[in-house]
C-alpha cells in the first residue's frame, strides 16, 4: 500500500488530495472538497491526460506559425510523441480559428485545432 499526494487543479480551491493505492488500484481518496476533485485525483493517478497547446509552421502567412490546441486531453505519456508528429507539419495560409490542422492525432480521436487566424501574404505587395 502506498500514498500519493495530488494538488487538484480543477477549481480555485486547490485541494490537497491523498490517494491510497494497493496493487494498481485506488483504495481510497481523501481531501477533496467536491466530486470533481475525486474524479480528478482518480484520473491523475490511473490515466493522466493533458490538453496540448503548441504552434505549427505556416507557409505564405502573415505570421510564421499558428497557435493550436488539442480538441480533447491526450494521455500524458503520449505528449512527446504527439509533439514530434506536430513538428512535422507545415500548413498553408490562410488559416481560420477552428480549422482542423491535424485530424485524429496518433489515432486518439483528437484533432489539433487552430486557435488563431493567419492571413495569406500577397507576395506582389513585397515586390
pLDDT band at 124 (very low <50, low <70, confident <90, very high): low
**Which single residue is written with the C-alpha cell 485545432?**
113
Encode pLDDT of 39-86 as tens digits.
999 999 999 999 999 999 999 999 999 999 999 999 999 999 999 999
> What's the angle, vertex CA 100, arms to CA 96 and CA 103, rounded to 5?
170
Q: What pLDDT shows up at residue 126?
A: 53
Query: Domains in the chain, please, with CATH?
Result: 2-46 (no CATH), 53-126 (3.10.530.10)
Among residues 32, 29, 94, the alpha carbon closest in space to that of 60 is found at: 94
**pTM score, two decimals?**
0.81
Q: 75 by DSSP, 3-state: which?
A: strand
Instruction: Judge contact between 60 and 92, C-beta under 8 A.
Output: yes
Task: Output DSSP code: residue 108.
Answer: S
Least trusted range by pLDDT, from 80-84, 99-103, 113-117, 118-122:
118-122
Encode pLDDT of 1-45 as tens digits.
899 999 999 999 999 999 999 987 899 999 999 999 999 999 999
Whether residue 120 has pLDDT greater than 90: yes
Amino acid at each position: 500500500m502506498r500514498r500519493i499526494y495530488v494538488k487538484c487543479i480543477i477549481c480555485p480551491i486547490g485541494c490537497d488530495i491523498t490517494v491510497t493505492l494497493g496493487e494498481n488500484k485506488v483504495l481510497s481518496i481523501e481531501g477533496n472538497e467536491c466530486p470533481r476533485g475525486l474524479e480528478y485525483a482518480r484520473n491523475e493517478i490511473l490515466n493522466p491526460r493533458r490538453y496540448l497547446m503548441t504552434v505549427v509552421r505556416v507557409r505564405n502567412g502573415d505570421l510564421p506559425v499558428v497557435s493550436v490546441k488539442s480538441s480533447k486531453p491526450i494521455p500524458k505519456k503520449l505528449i512527446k510523441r504527439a509533439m514530434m508528429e506536430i513538428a512535422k507539419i507545415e500548413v498553408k495560409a490562410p488559416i481560420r480559428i477552428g480549422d482542423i490542422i491535424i485530424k485524429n492525432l496518433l489515432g486518439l480521436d483528437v484533432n489539433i485545432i487552430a486557435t488563431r487566424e493567419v492571413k495569406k501574404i500577397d507576395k506582389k505587395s513585397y515586390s
